[in-house]
């Protein structure tokens, strides 16, 4: 059985930032969010360049190993940017994405503190573990999940893609089910909306783009001080189109590239 994604994306710079360092794309065959690491140089370039390089390889992915190799190749591109301009040293980005592979399976890739949630049969379960200092405290029972949302060091991440050979990204296989709904979001959403609020919006809004926009609006209303980006993907039966992705955030605003020139 083959599947396709019916996806929507919404991204907002937020009222407290001068630039949108979030980047995202959606297509019938894959989707992702990336969040340029705050405090470092050129986070918007890091997130946008990573996604554009990844997508430039085309929609066809054989398996988890191939997607992981392509992500490391995109990560190498960040290192190339730094070699051309040493002033970019230290730029980095998170990454969370889903991709339909050649066999009809679904691949989930993740590093950093952007998140993936799966809504199935009305029940929402987080599918990623934050690579963050505060998540380590939660795992050790030192900080509760509720207190973690307000912890002063919640933005310290322990893994990202920064162009180094030893950067780690995890790619796992998931069994897609028609009717599944995936949410990919940056911490501008998840740091300000409890999981139960996220789940309620995912259950309520039938249209994927409307759900993404309402999640962003809810995070802004909750006082998000970050860039805010949400991608919602509904799993449907059918064959993915050979469609061009829709870009959002930094990937659309400042660093859109001619993908054909990258693959040529």
Domains with residue ranges and CATH for the chain: 3-257 (3.60.40.10)
Residues 81 and 88 sit within 8 Å (Cβ to Cβ):
yes
pTM of the model: 0.91
CA–CA gap between residue 62 and residue 65 (Å, rounded): 8
pLDDT at 134: 73
pLDDT digits (tens, 9 = 90+) for 41-61: 699 999 999 999 999 999 999
Per-residue pLDDT tens digits for 152-190: 666 788 889 999 999 999 999 999 999 999 999 999 999
Helix (H) or strand (E) holding 77: helix 64-84
**Structure-token pair, residue 40:** 């470092």
Query: How would residue 257 be classed by pLDDT, with cut points 50, 70 and 90?
Result: very low
What secondary structure does DSSP assign to 169-226, as a single string? -EEEEE---TT-EEEEE-HHHHTTS-HHHHHHHHHH--SHHHHHHHHHHHHHHTT--S
Identify the pLDDT of residue 75: 97
pLDDT in tens, 76-96: 999 999 999 999 999 999 999
Tokens 């918007």 -> residue: 44
* pLDDT computed for residue 243 by the predictor: 80
């Amino acid at each position: 059985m083959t599947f396709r994604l019916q996806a929507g994306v919404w991204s907002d710079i937020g009222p407290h930032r001068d630039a949108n360092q979030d980047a995202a794309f959606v297509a019938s065959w894959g989707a992702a969010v990336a969040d340029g690491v705050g405090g470092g140089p050129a986070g918007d370039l890091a997130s946008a360049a990573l996604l554009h390089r990844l997508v430039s390889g085309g929609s066809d992915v054989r398996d988890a190993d191939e997607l992981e190799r392509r992500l490391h190749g995109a990560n190498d591109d960040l290192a190339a940017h730094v070699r051309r301009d040493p002033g970019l040293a230290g730029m980095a980005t998170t990454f969370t994405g889903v991709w339909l592979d050649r066999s009809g399976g679904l691949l989930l890739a993740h590093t950093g503190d952007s998140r993936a949630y799966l809504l199935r049969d009305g029940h929402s379960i987080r599918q990623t573990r934050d690579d963050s200092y505060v998540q380590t405290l939660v795992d050790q029972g030192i900080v509760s999940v509720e207190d973690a949302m307000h912890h002063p060091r919640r933005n310290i991440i322990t893994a990202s893609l920064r162009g180094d050979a030893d950067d780690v990204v995890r790619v796992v296989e998931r069994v897609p089910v028609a009717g599944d709904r995936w949410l990919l979001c940056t911490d501008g959403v998840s740091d300000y909306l409890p999981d139960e609020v996220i789940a309620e919006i995912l259950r309520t809004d039938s249209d994927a783009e409307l759900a993404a926009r309402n999640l962003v609006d809810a995070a802004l209303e909750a006082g998000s001080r970050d860039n805010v980006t949400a991608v919602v993907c509904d799993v449907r039966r059918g064959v993915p189109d050979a469609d061009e992705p829709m870009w959002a955030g930094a990937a659309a605003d400042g660093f859109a590239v001619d993908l054909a020139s990258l693959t040529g």
